[in-house]
Structure 1
């Protein structure tokens, strides 16, 4: 049976990848040791999602509680399935700017060294497999903040005549900017994925995501913007807006739309590719705009305060230009808009909270 190895298999994108690939007939080998709960607290635990995956797909999903930094264990696992592995989707990561400052060694070893261990295992045991990496728009550092932005009533925006109005594309420089330590460790991994593709002619791709979101997100204050915002709205938990008057803009892509993009790449792969991927102009909002939508869906007012201090390396405005990916894969389309995404998150939160 064709096998996919998925790291971070119980997280938002990992679990969406498991479900999608199982539906396509894959046997899925999942790697996830629930370090998200260590990074972000017990509410961020993905253990609930592991149980759901194992119950729903017990004949096609095989879970391994493994640390991706453990090179010997990773290579042993790859060796066991080497003749069947056709796809690796690498979503495991330390995902938080703030957490990276507390422990840069762990942040870097998880994000960079862990990625290297997986790439080398792929090269040694299944060099013809497709390797997909969930990178981040933070590889561009704070360079997007140098764009000529205009302050509107509810958001920062760029002039419609500007070259980046439709979104930031892959030509933006990754140099000479403040990335945050998290952004630097993810950039190191991003470069490794590109290099294994170009140097060893392996079928690798970096998907530099905007805000990745969806119903399976275990969102917290430090990671998972829309998920955490909806949770606070539903439960009455106080919410803090950090800087930029709450007008900072993000594009948001549903996890299913992203994994569908992965599948399109898998079907017609390239070597060492880079794609900016996100909600683009199709699905984006400021924090203030997201609050209004959440309040409407939940029929509740959010208890929020403004903190006049933005996060280091945070983007004021970021919308992804996905034209390169669309040019390469013209059959890929969005299924979810912003309202659809937030309704999905709302119903998932209600179920999970037992309300």
Structure 2
């Protein structure tokens, strides 16, 4: 039996991974204890997604309501499946830099200590398995804000002759900048994943995502940009835009496209890789542009207000350069842009909202 182990398996990327690999005939073992509800409230619960996966895939999906910080529980789980594990996709995290400042110990133990526990269990029980970590562009801290940006009518941009016009690549430093406590805990995890690759010659990769999105996202005010924005537009919930005149830019990648990138890496893995991954130049938008698209799709205005103060350490402009990953895996390509993503979020969540 070939097993894919997915942490955060009821979340956005975790559940997409479950579906993707079940459809390819793998048995998937999922770990998810719905901490997202503890972080962001009842509206962010992932239980609906867990139940849907169990109903659809039956015995092919084995769910564990465990905490990745629990070393004893993780050791028992890895001992149970041992060398049948072919791939670990680690998506479990505390994902908000605002929330991290409220409880730094929980943030760090989930993001850093939890990752260390999983890496060490992989080394002890299935060292030949591929280990994929959902990292974040926040490992670069606010260094992107030092770029020479140009203010346009509805977005910030960078000059076409700038080396990063096609997106920020992995050469950007992660040092000498403000990360937020969330960013710091993810840096710790990111470096651990790289080090287990280099030091123990394990097949590891850090995928440093921009905005990860899709219809399975349990979007909340502190995390889940496009999902929560569309939910607020549909339901009339007030929405707040923080700083940068609402012109801050993010690239957005659909969960399917990201998991498909994981699959390409799994088929031909490398050691201690880092990849900036996201929508790149093909799929990005500013806050103002996203609001306009949500209003057009939902055919109603968003009830939103602007606050001058931005979130500490937040990016003004982020578009990731996908060149490194595409050079290693030229058969992979994006299949969704922002309009398609928003239409899918809208159509697949109306009944749930």
TM-score (norm 2): 1.00
CA distances 1:241-290 after superposition (whole Å, capped 9, x unpaired) = 00000000000000000000000000000010000000000000000000
Q: Please name the residue that 1:229 is paired with.
A: 229
Superposition map of 1:110-259 within 5 A = 110-259=110-259
CA distance in 2, matches of 1:333, 1:151: 30
Structure 1: how far apart are the matches of 2:173 and 2:139? 9
Uncovered stretches (5+) of structure 1, i.e. residues with no partner: none
Q: Cα offset for 1:337?
A: 1.0
1:300 matched to 2:300 = yes
1:77-132 superposed Cα distances (whole Å, 9 cap, x missing partner): 01110121000000000011111001100100000000000000000000000000
The residue that corresponds to 2:5 in the other structure is 5
Tell me the secondary structure at the aligned position of residue 112 of structure 2: helix
Q: Which residue is 1:99 aligned to?
A: 99
Q: Deviations over 1:295-354 (max 9, x none)?
A: 11100111110000100110000000000000000000111111110001011220312x
In the alignment, what sits opposite 1:324?
324
Three-state SS of the structure 2 residue aligned to 1:241 is strand
Displacement after TM superposition at 1:147 (Å): 0.1
> Displacement, 1:24?
1.0
The 1-side partners of 2:229 and 2:160 are apart by 29
| Partner residue in 2 for 1:87 | 87
**What does residue 313 of structure 2 align with?**
313
Measure, in 1, the Cα distance between the counterparts of 2:256 and 2:184.
27
Q: Deviations over 1:149-195 (max 9, x none)?
A: 00000000000000000000000000000000000000000000000
Secondary structure at 1:83 match in 2: helix
Residue 335 of structure 1 corresponds to 335
Following TM superposition, the consecutive aligned residue runs of length 4 or more in structure 1 with deviations greater than 3 angstroms are: none
Q: Give, in whole Å, the separation in 2 of the partners of 1:223 and 1:139.
A: 17
User: Cα deviation per residue 1:202-241 (whole Å; 9 max; x = unaligned)?
Assistant: 0000000000000000001100000000000001111110
- Distance (Å, rounded) in 2 between the aligned partners of 1:281 and 1:248: 15
Instruction: Provide the secondary structure at the position in 1 that maps to 2:285.
Output: strand
- Does the residue aligned with 2:58 lie in a helix, a strand or coil? coil
User: Unaligned 5+ residue runs, structure 2?
Assistant: none
In 1, Cα distance between the equivalents of 2:343 and 2:352?
A: 14
SS at match of 1:154: coil
How far residue 72 of structure 1 moved from its aligned partner, in angstroms, is 1.1
With normalisation by structure 1, the TM-score equals: 0.99
Shift of 1:75: 1.1
